A and B are shown apart, each in its own frame.
Chain A
């Protein structure tokens, strides 16, 4: 939108937008990853990375990335080669596509789809196919268990995620993410939709396989789940997609519940910075949970989804509908 003001050539626009999305996709996860290193460390009475880049280890993740590229790329001899190679790509592409629709400020978005919310949620579910492919193609029992766990988890948690988002769409009266943010000018949806917000964040954690729902990669049980056999850059891609996933789903939560670029109290700060700050706040919460909780068991997780989250999400939709009718 902003870019359209200065450029009229379709291809130049396309290239610039693509570049912007890719740059954000490559930098934001690194920032979140670094913050996770440091926040976890300080919560756990230690310092975290201190060497790389001289100042408080700021370049640690860049160094890690370079290391991943340098490592030998091993494909197990029993693996299904093509599926094994395709899996990390299939995990990472959907996450990039989510960034395409997230608005960061008035005019700061790549595409404003009318079905933005639907698109983002649908595309985020594709990653699990990559997970299953990785688990199956690795020809490793631990990988297989991890992949099956991941698939089961996604089926259980996609539903509350979509139901919570449906309530927001009902209240806003639109599925466009830009429209949802614009509908929150007077108040943020986290106030009327606090139940939905809780459900959305919980389900996002499960979808991202983040603690306390990290059973698909539970390192003390099944080594590293579907990533067990991956090395080098492919493993790096999996990790990158995990952190990019945190940013993407935090971005969705920001847009849907925390009023996107709308400010509170402090005027004069550019709108995109507000969005980034809110994404950072939710990511911090995600990291904090990792420092605090052990992981649930797979069956307990399923129980939680089907017995609590989905009924509550349905009640939330019902109440939203009632309020929508009564107050309009």
Chain B
């Protein structure tokens, strides 16, 4: 249609008129847009997130995340389990921060029961939660490099993860799903020599973190790929309910460990790292600094763990939570995890609603993606830091 008009304009055909060349301006020449499915099976979506993007050449004009490929109905399943079983269940929605998930459930059950948790158990919970946070962040430090084409950080990340998992396995018996919390306290006490091992590992991890800084943070190409890519302003992030490292990278120092302390986070000192631009580089950098802060917290915990029991003397065989409802939020590895528990006095919850960080973090993909190129799509998707299981639950 447009082509025929242009053709006639280009070749006027009159003798001696010469050839008139028309340069098509923006939008004059019709080009076709291409719809491309990134996912559900695609190397860079870590799992089964599907993003339907509309492409003009390599420029993304629209993007829509399609979620639900990994919906496993955790909230419904929880209604048919007792409270100790739920702890094993919630381990699995965000499989990279299993301990953070179980702490939340244990805490809310204890709150509703009005149960006093022994201080040693609380300190150990904090220790484990922070190690788990480091495990999670290491995974994303590594995989983000891999998505940008640098394969080495991934292997380094697994080298560190292996050692931390061995440490946690010594106490919990699990490497991915720990199921170490119980309403009221913990399953077991720490094994002998655990704290010395943990102390050594803090030093080792701190030392090895420099490898990532050298490989990625100071890398010219890495900066070129990430600085100024996928900028998320702080107020937009708040509107979308984004939390965790992504919100902090946008310059908002919100961390429920500080603003609404649970466990004993009010008794340790740590900073909330924030970024200034809210771009992919800042998100990555914040993640890196959060590991350093977690190591700082762990060192303080080592000095503060008291002796004592890890679970109150007599716990009932079946835990029946009194009637009522309660909401509690914890700072999980990827952001704020909320638990809303409604109980009718039964041994099972009547309803347990979870607010998971990845769901909200993924929701702003349609805001970030349009107007950027396909390679940047990967740089942005990787820096949104989500776990698909945590999105769909």
Contact = CB atoms under 8 A, between A and B. Distances in A.
Residue from B149, B156, B225, B378 having most chain A Cβ neighbours under 10 A: B149
A211 B149 contact: yes
Interface in A84-129: none
A214 B129 CA distance: 39
A46 B155 CA distance: 8
Residue from A145, A219, A221, A222 having most chain B Cβ neighbours under 10 A: A221
Contacts of B378: 218, 220-221
Given A220-B44, A292-B152, A294-B149, 15 more contacts: A44-B152, A44-B155, A45-B159, A46-B155, A218-B149, A220-B378, A221-B374, A221-B375, A221-B377, A290-B151, A291-B151, A292-B150, A293-B149, A294-B225, A297-B225
A294 B378 CA distance: 12
A214 B375 contact: no
Given A44-B152, A300-B224, A294 B373 contact: no
B273 interface: no
Contacts of A221: 44, 374-375, 377-378
Interface residues of A, number: 29
Nearest to B375: A297
A215 interface: yes
Given A220-B43, A298-B375, A293 B150 contact: yes
Contacts of A215: 375
A297 B226 CA distance: 10
A295 B58 contact: no
Contacts of A291: 151-152
Contacts, number: 80
A51 interface: no
A141 B37 CA distance: 10
B34 interface: yes
B217 to A, nearest CB: 12
11 contacts: A44-B156, A212-B149, A218-B378, A220-B146, A220-B378, A294-B148, A294-B150, A294-B225, A296-B224, A297-B376, A298-B373
A1 interface: no
A211 B151 CA distance: 10
Counting from the closest, the 3 A-B pairs by CB-CB distance are A295-B149, A294-B148, A44-B155
A300 B222 CA distance: 12
B219 interface: yes
A43 interface: yes
Nearest to A298: B375
Nearest to A44: B155
Given A220-B149, A294-B225, A299 B219 contact: no
A44 B215 CA distance: 12
Contacts of B373: 297-299
Size category of the B interface is 20 to 34
A83 interface: no
Contacts of A20: none
A223 interface: yes
A211 B222 CA distance: 13
Contacts of B221: 212, 293-296
A292 B221 CA distance: 10
Interface in B8-36: 34, 36
B56 interface: no
B197 interface: no
A101 to B, nearest CB: 33
A291 B146 CA distance: 11
Nearest to B382: A220
A292 B373 CA distance: 24
B145 interface: yes
B147 interface: yes
Contact of B36 (A141, A220, A293, A300): A141
Given A220-B44, A295-B221, A214 B149 contact: yes
B42 interface: yes
A298 B42 contact: no
A145 B58 contact: yes
A45 B148 contact: no
Interface string B137-166: 000000001111111100110010000000
Contacts of A44: 151-152, 155-156
B32 to A, nearest CB: 12
A141 B156 contact: no
B156 A45 contact: yes
Nearest to A299: B373
Contacts of B152: 43-44, 291-292
Residue from B151, B155, B219 having most chain A Cβ neighbours under 10 A: B151
Interface in A263-301: 290-300
Nearest to A144: B34
B169 to A, nearest CB: 20
Contacts of B145: 294
A264 to B, nearest CB: 32
A39 to B, nearest CB: 12
Interface string B220-233: 01101100000000
